[in-house]
Structure 1
Amino acid sequence: MGPSEGFRSLAILLAVAAAVALAYGAHFQNAAVVADSTKKVKTKGGLSLKQLLALISRPQWLSGTAFMGAGIVLQLAALTLAPLIVVQPIGAVALVITSLLNARSTKTRISRPTLIAVTFCTVGIAAFVAMASGVAHETVLNDDRLREVLGILLTILVIFGVLFFTIGKRMQALTYVAGAGVLYGFVATLAKVVIQRIYQQQFELLTILCLVALIGAVSLGGWFVQNAYSSGPPDLVIAGLTVIDPLVAVSIGIVVLGEAKDAGFLTILGWLISAVVAMIGVYLLSKVHPELSTKALTRKHLV
């Protein structure tokens, strides 16, 4: 079944540490992408494959990747100790840290509307975690449930892959963020699935397929994130990831994995309300962020 529920507090602490690492990783990666893109006049939202490959040689981008890697390790450790629907939403902590780091590095004042948007995101996710922690339980994962997850992910990978390689250059930051958030939600789910299968001593072909699907989702999701950095501020990217990612992962955890089968009507209603509040925050941030306004004016002037 998994570890004892007594480890849940440790899992939450590990998830918070993972969120801090994610925030610093996003900050450094965004700085590297912006520095690279300013060398060339860009009027579109997407990066070319050549530009993405060039980022690998930038120390700042590599530093961000190292932080991201540390965050993944900490998140996986948290997932081994607590249900998915408890751990995954805690990543919203990264939004607050990223907003402060970005404001300091760009010397951009955090405006009141931006602060309100960040508050909506954070409060919505925090309320969700508080309610989930009281009712979430580990479940035994069978092969049929796992095939459902893989089938949904395969469909999404095909759709996003086609969209990216056809209209990718016309996509905006929020679109990239949404795509990455959905994919990373599946990454978290598949990571939890593999951990559960190991606990259940079922590491066989189906589990290996999960690992392959996980790598595919990470790769395409990572590409989306780098393109989002080129057309939007890092706190918008993190806002989308820390809201859309857990909402997708939690939905799968509830519907497919059955981690919230003990939740009552009021709890489910509370989850829906908190999710709506968090999504409103992401939408507001995409509209009111001062750095987005600056970038839009700059591009209009260049054109």
Structure 2
Amino acid sequence: MHLDLIDFTVDLPVDPRQAIGIPLALIGGVFLSLGAQFQHRGVNKVEANTVAVTGGLDPHQLLLLLRRPSWVIGTLMLGLAIVFQLSSLAFAPIIVVQPLGAVALVITAVVNARVTKTPVNRASKIAIAFCVGGIGLFVTVAAFFAVDKPVTDKNLVTILIVLGAVLLAFILAFALLHTKFKAIFYITGAGVLYGFVATLAKVIINRTQNGNFEWLTLCCVAGLLLAASLGAYFVQNAYSSGPPDLVIAGLTVIDPLVAVGIGIVVLGEIAQAPLWAGFAFALAGAIAICGVILLSRHHPQASVTVSE
């Protein structure tokens, strides 16, 4: 029995580099939360000083954002968040580090509570516990069984085709129905697109590390830039029609779901995991999603909004 336990421990495919990737992802989550707070403030300032428009921010308002110190600071923080996120992807599989972005939701709720001088209520504390518990379980299991694999040309073509269809769908929807869109559309769209951004970034890093940088990888870079640009525009519109908590809540659910889904289905990052690990992933994901939904409904800023 003792020897069996030793053999089981030795056979676990744990990559020590993940000890670097996970902290980097957590730091990125901190900058994501703070950046969202500052950008939201900048968007609100611009909207307060300009004529209200429907169907999203117009080019004039987008230019005015560049003059808002709060928005610029927020953008710089989001830039740092991206740097740390990309750095984490160089050390750990996407299925390990991407869900850690949900930490930003917890920080956002706490920061809003301090800014609005509203204590975190009991429902919010329960939701935060669900988020942390679900994420902790998910990452713990993933850290043992998720492994990096070289991305094949077939994998990359599949990802690019799906991304092309997604971009086309969102562009057509925005062109035809943008005057009717609410915050939830922009949040959903940004979450889906950022999920692809994280995946494409991981693909580019993976192929570069394996000396496989050619035309398909360049197509991947182009897709990443397109998805990131449209996603960023959607985020700014989401700030103009909803609180930062709602934006972060949506992003931290949809973004990881898309990225992790691609990591599992297309990249096969947990192909060698036992059956029980799959159930553990599902349970952890359900707990985290439940926590995010509860927090988005009961976060401190929502209480302030209702009272006002």
TM-score by length of 1: 0.89
On the 8 A contact 2:249/2:292 being kept in 1, the answer is yes
Identity %: 48
Shift of 1:294: 5.9
Tell me which residue corresponds to 2:284. Answer: 274
Summarize the alignment of residues 148-167 of structure 1 with structure 2, pairs less than 5 Å apart: 148-167=158-177
Question: How many residues were matched structurally?
Answer: 295
Of residues 191, 212, 220 in structure 1, which corresponds to 2:222?
A: 212
On the 8 A contact 1:45/1:228 being kept in 2, the answer is no
Summarize the alignment of residues 20-169 of structure 1 with structure 2, pairs less than 5 Å apart: 20-40=30-50, 42=52, 46-169=56-179
Shift of 1:171: 2.2
Whole-angstrom distance in 2 between the partners of 1:214 and 1:137: 23
On the 8 A contact 2:116/2:304 being kept in 1, the answer is no
Shift of 1:89: 1.0
Whole-angstrom distance in 1 between the partners of 2:57 and 2:304: 19
Query: For the structure 1 residues 42 and 266, does the alpha-carbon distance in structure 2 shift closer, same or farther, using more than 3 Å as the test?
Result: farther
Whole-angstrom distance in 2 between the partners of 1:34 and 1:111: 26
Of residues 179, 183, 193 in structure 1, which corresponds to 2:203?
A: 193
The unaligned stretches of length 5 or more in structure 1 are 299-303
Whole-angstrom distance in 1 between the partners of 2:301 and 2:48: 15
With 214-223 and 10-19 compared, the bigger mean Cα shift is at 10-19
Tell me which residue corresponds to 2:3. Answer: none
Tell me which residue corresponds to 1:177. Answer: 187
Whole-angstrom distance in 1 between the partners of 2:290 and 2:59: 33
Query: For the structure 1 residues 6 and 290, does the alpha-carbon distance in structure 2 shift closer, same or farther, using more than 3 Å as the test?
Result: closer
Tell me which residue corresponds to 1:257. Answer: 267
Shift of 1:253: 0.6
Shift of 1:117: 3.3
Query: For the structure 1 residues 44 and 264, does the alpha-carbon distance in structure 2 shift closer, same or farther, using more than 3 Å as the test?
Result: farther
The unaligned stretches of length 5 or more in structure 2 are 1-13
Shift of 1:289: 4.2
Shift of 1:105: 2.2
Query: For the structure 1 residues 88 and 9, does the alpha-carbon distance in structure 2 shift closer, same or farther, using more than 3 Å as the test?
Result: same
Whole-angstrom distance in 1 between the partners of 2:48 and 2:300: 19
Query: For the structure 1 residues 43 and 211, does the alpha-carbon distance in structure 2 shift closer, same or farther, using more than 3 Å as the test?
Result: closer
Tell me which residue corresponds to 2:4. Answer: none
Shift of 1:264: 1.7
On the 8 A contact 2:50/2:61 being kept in 1, the answer is no
Whole-angstrom distance in 1 between the partners of 2:141 and 2:257: 14
